[in-house]
Structure 1
Amino acid sequence: MKHIFNKGQDPTKPTLLLLHGTGGTELDLLPIAGRMDDEANVLSVRGNVLENGMPRFFRRLAEGVFDEEDLIFRTKELNEFLDEAAEKYGFDRNNVIAIGYSNGANIAASLLFHYQNALKGAILHHPMVPRRGIELPDLSGKSVFIAAGTNDPICSPTESSELQSLLDKANAKVEIHWENRGHQLTLEEVEAAGQWYKQFKLKNM
């Protein structure tokens, strides 16, 4: 997978896995990583799927309708890529925090839904429920921050609350932050995620 890896100054810090939204690239979320933790490793990945020339992490059949078979395949592909990248770059595979926006948040949520040890935690900006009707792994010890918009036309408040509930039931510790906005990634929610991340670091030191 096309990606950027920037080695951090502190090997005890998490590796930040950056996952862009539809039409984005591996460059999009780098400023957010720097704001979150400028001493951590950064692994920023570009989605392998193109939709009308726009990079994505998995195919969809329509707006808000995922191609479930492709989602499962691409989630497995990303999880295996993380295994390979950890070996190649020498970071702790068990200390990866995903930061995803929109489509990137959905593939990060899918990692949590399908692989118990894929992520230590995740910051999900405007995610949807990746799959329904499946049993999630036990996510005890995992922490998740969800940023959602009360007026989001793509990811409804009901969808965000349902994702929170599903992760809660799988024993993850979930915090949800609401903005009275739409689907855009706002500075306010990034700052809220930064506060969450500081607390996450303190609890895991």
Structure 2
Amino acid sequence: MKHIFKKGNDQSKPTLLLLHGTGGTEEDLLQLAEIIDKEANVLSVRGNVLENGMPRFFKRLAEGVFDEDDLIFRTKELNEFLDVASVKYEFDRNNITAVGYSNGANIAASLLFHYKDALKGAILHHPMVPRRGIELPDLSGKSIFIAAGTNDPICPAQESEELKTLLENAGSDVELHWENRGHQLTMDEVQAATTWYKN
């Protein structure tokens, strides 16, 4: 997978896995990593799927309707990429915190839904429920921050609440942060995520 890796100064910190929104690239969220933790390793990945020329992490059938088979395949592909990257760049595979926005937040949530040890934690900006009707792995000890917009046309409020409940029922510790905004990534929610991360 096309990516950027930046080695941090403090190897005890989590490696920040940056996952862009639809139409983004591996450059998009580098500034977020600087704000959240400038000491940490950064692994920023570009999605392998193109939709009308726009990079994504998995296919969709329509707005808000995921191609479930492709989602499962791409989630496995990303998880295996993390295994390889951790060896290549010599970072702790068990200490990865995903930072994802929109489509990137959805693939990060899908990693949590499918693989017990894929991530230690996650900051999810405007995620949706990746899959329904499956049993989640035991996510005890995982910390997850969800940023949601009360007026998000793509990701309704009940979707964010449902995702929080599913993750909590699997044992993870979840903080749901609301902004009175739409689907855009705001500096206020980035600051809230940073405060959560530092605590």
Percent identity between the two aligned chains = 79
Which AA in structure 1 matches 2:29?
Answer: L
Matches within 5 A, 1:9-24: 9-24=9-24
Provide the rounded CA distance (Å) in 2 between the counterparts of 1:52 and 1:88: 32
Counterpart of 1:84 in structure 2 is: 84
Q: What's the CA shift for 1:103?
A: 0.0
For residues 163 and 198 of structure 2, the distance between their equivalents in structure 1, rounded to whole angstroms, comes to 23
Paired residues for 1:22-41 under 5 Å? 22-41=22-41
Match of 1:137? 137
RMSD: 0.2
1:27-50, Cα deviation, whole Å (9 max, x unpaired) = 000000000000100000000000
Runs of 4+ in structure 1 deviating by more than 2 angstroms, as ranges, are: none
Name the amino acid aligned to 1:35: I
How do 1:40-189 residues align onto structure 2 when only pairs under 5 Å count? Answer: 40-189=40-189
Rounded Cα–Cα distance in structure 2 between residues aligned with 1:195 and 1:12? 19
- State the secondary structure of the residue aligned to 1:136: coil
Distance in 1, Cα, partners of 2:121 & 2:9: 20
Amino acid at match of 1:69: D
For 2:194, the equivalent position in structure 1 comes to 194
CA deviation string 1:132-168 (max 9, x = no partner): 0000000000000000000000000000000000001
State the alpha-carbon separation in 2 of the partners of residues 157 and 104 from structure 1.
18
How many residues end up aligned between the 2 structures?
199
Q: Deviations over 1:147-193 (max 9, x none)?
A: 00000000000000000000010000000000000000000000000
What residue ranges of structure 1 are gaps of 5+ in the alignment?
Answer: 200-205
Aligned with 1:28: secondary structure?
A: coil
TM-score (ref. length: structure 2): 1.00
Question: What SS does the aligned partner of 2:119 have?
Answer: coil
Q: Secondary structure at the match of 1:112?
A: helix
Partner SS, residue 137 of structure 1: coil
CA drift of 1:115 comes to 0.1
Residue aligning to 2:7: 7
State the Cα deviation string for residues 45-96 of structure 1 (Å, max 9, x = none): 0000000000000000000000000000000000000000000000000000
Quote the Cα distance in structure 2 between the aligned partners of 1:11 and 1:125. 25
Question: Tell me, what secondary structure is at the counterpart of 1:17?
Answer: strand
Q: State the SS of the aligned residue for 2:188.
A: helix
The equivalent of 1:203 in structure 2 is none
Amino acid at match of 1:182: G
CA apart distance, 1:19: 0.0
CA distance in 2, matches of 1:105, 1:99: 7
Residue 7 of structure 1 aligns to which amino acid in structure 2? K
